[in-house]
Structure 1
Amino acid sequence: MMEADDLLPEGLEDRLPREAAAITRAMRAALDVLDAHGYDRVRPPLVEFEKSLAGRMDGVQPRRMFRFVDPASLRTLALRSDITPQIGRIAATSLAAAPRPLRLAYCGETAVIKADQLDPARERLQLGAELIGADTVAAASEIVALAVEALSAAGLTGISVDFTLPDLVDTLAEQAMPLPPEARDAVRRELDAKDAGGLKAAGGEAYLPLLYATGPFADAVEQLRAIDAGGALASRIAGLMEIAARVGDSARITLDPTERHGFEYQSWFGFTLYAEGVRGALGRGGTYLIKGSDEAATGFSLYIDQLLGALAEPAVRDTLYLPLGHDAHAAERLRGEGWRTVAQIDEGEDPVALGCTYRLEASGPVRL
């Protein structure tokens, strides 16, 4: 019987064998894709100094992190809520002299004090890749295509990518569609909320056409192209077209040029990943600047736990029961051939109840 002390805190849960196995398979498949494309895996620590975690990326919020005092240094430590800033620190310090572009991959647990309303999880398994030293169209194209391939290898279908341009308002406000600095936050907010009335009230009437440049990529990019911005959007549109061409028909592409939620530290390009059977976003990516070193980078993060609902049920794997006194050398050879074995510990065990489908006899494996 479960006692009150056995309950887990809100937003945390156990992953039992079947779920844990599915997550592990998806994680390995995605990491294999990253490795095949030349991304070397790094493993930053779970805990760092708060100042370091909060100081490498814009938009990182220390108030979302679990924080405590290190008894050794008496400085404030934090449990990471995002691994990307740690990759920035590694690139700016230990690997500062490594040739660029630097390709790094990672996978590990993250935690937040309070979850988002749409996602109650407070602990997530984050997997991603970072291309350090480039935020060009070519870099963005590689990263988007890599993210789609990783999701496909993990077992996802019906993958879609939603492009956005996080710095669009700042780009247009400088000259093409002038806005005083004090009005820009309000215009960004109303564009993000898709509120035409609020946008007019905020002084952003010229930005109204951006609300309609959303949806399937081919149509939305033409709506964006039709906006008279004195050529200010030409390079952005050309970049989006090139990235979309690289993705091809491996994913459905949409465009929402004014989407800002989740893109607190991205610069000129961002994207969100979705797939059939998964509620909400699977991950995000884009271009950004590593603070401190001021180095450009492009990357993406996936949250592997969220894939569970869309992954196919794992096939039942044959398991070989090893009775007391079995031939240990034969069992070792069979494991080398790919068999999964369960050794008998006590008399009276039921091999079938333990999930076994074969029993090792003198003649070899015999089906139960």
Structure 2
Amino acid sequence: MARRVFSRTETSDQPSRRLSKALIPSGMATLLPEAAQRVRLLEQAMFENFIKWGYQEIIPPTFEYFDVLAAGLSSKALETCYKFADWSTGRILVLRPDVTAQIARMVAMGLAGQTLPIRLCYRTTVFRSEPVHAGREREIFQVGAELIGSDTPVMDAEILALLLELLRGLGLEAFKVSLGHVGFYQALLEKSGLSAQGQQQAKMAAAHKDLPKLEAILRAEGIDSKIAHTILETPDRYGREEVLSWGRRVAGNNRALIEPIERLDMVYHLLKQAGFQDHLLIDLGEFRGFEYYDGLVFDVFAEGLGCELGGGGRYNHLIGRFGRDLPSTGFALDVDRLFRARQALVTQEQNDLPPVLVVSSIAQYGVAFKVSQLLRAQGLTVLQEQGATHGAAHRERLRHRARQAGIPAVICLAAKASPQTFVLNATDENSWERSPYLAVHELPSWLHRHVYARS
């Protein structure tokens, strides 16, 4: 099981009075140095791909006016967002609960005049109020992308291909992306004659694959047994081309059912041509948890994780809630879950190598700085400190300092006129050895041969 690098606070129902003031709020993330470094490396890897695909970074504000952003939020987001008063205006503010709604607002109010399509990407956090024991985070680190201003199968395929390429670029292999279309199930429910309330309840039950509840909803409204059977069968219809064939048979001559199947078919085969078929599934019962999705939608699942890595879909009318309609699609990934899903971190990255320590006297600071910069230019992490390096007592102090900090090698400047060094390096947990004198330019290759090759 992959080690979890995010530390999150858990609280009990009745924390002791002595400890309660020391706890940070439940579900909030603390990133210690190792975790913070891995977050930045992961974000850097993904953003290098974003840039190559022509996506530009956008940074949304942490909070907004509630009455403005509410137009783009789902009913669930409205229930779980954090609200507070702006003392200067008296208006209600909301902590960012959903980046897509923010970007829709930003595009409508500031970017709508740009050449279309607009390609945007982001890395940020969202905040959602969840019950303490719901097992959900309240602060969620996300990375995502939005493709705005085009409603074609090619653009659906682009955003999905970008997502798939990001995941493969992170070393993930055992993952699946399930493709669906909200229009197919919506058309089935409308055809059935369910009331508006019944349709909403049925969609929620289908989204959770709760077939007994779905059956009870259909029975309560007296839905015809034949179409009720199809509605119950659809959430279990997932696979590959055979699912599309089944959907065509169900659709018959009904255009409201045919069009979602045709769109899914086109996007699926575009991605198949691009070589992504092993990661794709068709799921006609696929829904997203936000009400603004109105076309092709998708979720990402990793083997053994037990929850989705993220997802996204098409929202052709969300931006119109803030201005003029611009057809759009996008996705968001949960960074915490990405870490847990990765089969292996990229151990070849030199930044994953443990740091070395360069020690010198104050008089030799300039030389020590040049040594440190030389090693940093080689991709190594270097700590620089001042202190005595000669004599058994001083060297034992340095060894103790290195052991405590997990540093495998201490580079000491020799007390000579010419800039020479020697290295104290660990041969195992308890044993250290001293290298011969080394010229500065010899250090990088010596460290790789005698220190890092052993790890």
Normalised to the residue count of structure 1, the TM-score between the two structures is 0.89
Residue 200 of structure 2 corresponds to which residue in structure 1? 185
Q: CA 1:63 to 1:236, structure 2 compared with 1: closer, same or farther past 3 Å?
A: closer
Match of 1:302?
Answer: 333
2:215 matches 1:197: yes
Greater RCO (Cα-Cα under 8 Å, separation 6 or more): 1
What is the match of residue 226 of structure 1?
Answer: 249
1:96-123 Cα deviation digits (max 9, x unpaired): 2111111110110111111697652111
Instruction: Quote the Cα distance in structure 2 between the aligned partners of 1:186 and 1:127.
Output: 31
Q: Counterparts of 1:163 and 1:207 in 2: how far apart (Å)?
A: 23
**Match of 1:336?**
377
User: In the superposition, relative to structure 1, how do residues 56 and 322 fare at CA in structure 2: closer, same or farther (>3 Å)?
Assistant: same
The residue identity in structure 2 corresponding to 1:197 is E
- Aligned-pair Cα RMSD in Å: 2.6
TM-superposed CA distance for 1:44, in Å, is 0.9
Percent identity over the alignment is 25
TM-superposition CA deviations, 1:251-297 (whole Å, max 9, x none): 43223323335142100211111122423011111111222222221
Moved more, 300-309 or 246-255: 246-255
1:212 aligns with 2:233: yes
Shift in Å, 1:60: 6.0
Alignment match, 1:50: 66
Q: Does the aligned pair in 2 maintain the 1:168–1:268 contact within 8 Å?
A: no
Cα distance, 1:343 vs. partner?
1.4
Cα distance in 2, alignment partners of residues 272 and 118 from structure 1: 21
Larger helix share, 1 or 2:
2
What is aligned with 1:10?
Answer: 26
Give the match's secondary structure for 2:28: coil
**Gap change, CA 1:340 and 1:94, over 3 Å in 2:** same
What code does the residue aligned with 2:177 have?
V
- Greater shift in the superposed pair: 191-200 or 100-109: 191-200
Change (3 A) 1:40 1:297: same
SS of equivalent residue, structure 1 residue 343 = strand
Quickly say closer, same or farther: Cα 1:105–1:335, change in 2 above 3 A: same
3-state secondary structure, aligned to 2:371: helix
Letter in 2 for 1:276: E
Greater mean alpha carbon deviation, residues 99-108 or residues 233-242: 233-242
Question: Structure 2 vs 1, CA of residues 164 and 78 (structure 1 numbering), >3 Å: closer, same or farther?
Answer: same
Residues 215-273 of structure 1, C-alpha deviations (whole Å, 9 max, x = no match):
21222222212214423222221211121123325343223323335142100211111
The CA deviation at 1:26 is 1.9
Distance 1:307 1:116 in 2: 23
| Preserved CA contact (<8 Å) 1:274 1:280 | yes
**2:116 corresponds to which letter in structure 1?**
R
2:40 pairs with 13, 17, 24, which one? 24
Q: Note if 1:239 corresponds to 2:290.
A: no
Instruction: Output the amino acid matched with 2:230.
Output: P
- Aligned counterparts of 1:52 and 1:37: Cα–Cα separation in 2: 32
Cα pair distance change 1:170/1:255, threshold 3 Å: same
**Aligned 8 A contact 1:159 1:276 in 2:** yes
Q: Single out whichever of 280-289 and 226-235 deviates more from structure 2.
A: 226-235
In the TM superposition, what whole-angstrom CA distance separates every residue of 1:66-93 from its partner, at most 9, and x where no partner exists? 1111122221111101111111111111
- Judged with a 3 Å threshold, the aligned counterparts in structure 2 of structure 1 residues 210 and 308 are, in CA distance, closer, same or farther, namely same
Question: Are the aligned partners of 1:212 and 1:223 in contact in 2 as well (CA < 8 Å)?
Answer: no
What SS does the corresponding residue of 1:98 show, helix, strand or coil?
coil
SS in 2 for 1:94: helix
Q: 1:121 to 1:345 in 2, by over 3 A?
A: farther
User: Per-residue deviation at 1:134?
Assistant: 1.9
Compared CA separation, residues 21 and 55, structure 1 to 2 (3 A): same
Letter in 1 for 2:98: D
Determine the structure 2 residue equivalent to 1:353: 404
Q: Tell me the CA shift for residue 157 of structure 1.
A: 1.9
The CA deviation string for residues 17-60 of structure 1, in whole angstroms up to 9 with x for no partner, is: 33333332222212221221111001111111112222234446
- List aligned pairs for 1:271-350, cutoff 5 A: 271-288=298-315, 289=317, 290=319, 291-293=321-323, 294-311=325-342, 312-313=344-345, 315=347, 316-325=352-361, 326=365, 327=367, 328-344=369-385, 348-349=397-398, 350=401
Which string of whole-angstrom CA distances, capped at 9 and with x for unpartnered residues, describes residues 201-220 of structure 1? 33444142244341212222
Q: Which residue of 2 aligns with 1:65?
A: 81
- Within the candidate set 156, 165, 171, 1:140 is matched to 156
Aligned 8 A contact 1:57 1:85 in 2: yes
Counterparts of 1:266 and 1:14, CA distance in 2: 32
Corresponding residue of 1:154: 170
Question: For the residues of structure 2 that align with 1:323 and 1:92, how far apart are their CA atoms?
Answer: 56
Q: How many residues align?
A: 366
Whether the 8 Å CA contact 1:65–1:79 is kept in 2: the answer is yes
* Partner SS, residue 332 of structure 2: strand
SS in 2 for 1:93: helix
Alpha-carbon distance between aligned partners in 2 of 1:161 and 1:65, rounded to the nearest angstrom: 28
Q: What is the TM-score of this pair, normalised by structure 2?
A: 0.73
350-359 or 114-123, which deviates more = 114-123
Conserved? CA contact 2:73–2:98, under 8 Å: no
Secondary structure at the residue paired with 2:178? strand
Deviates more, 1:149-158 or 1:325-334: 325-334
Q: Distance in 2 between matches of 1:134 and 1:119?
A: 37
Unmatched segments (≥5 aa) in structure 1: none
> Taking structure 1 as reference, are residues 261 and 230 closer, same or farther at Cα in structure 2, changes over 3 Å only?
same
Pairwise CA distance, 1:305: 1.0
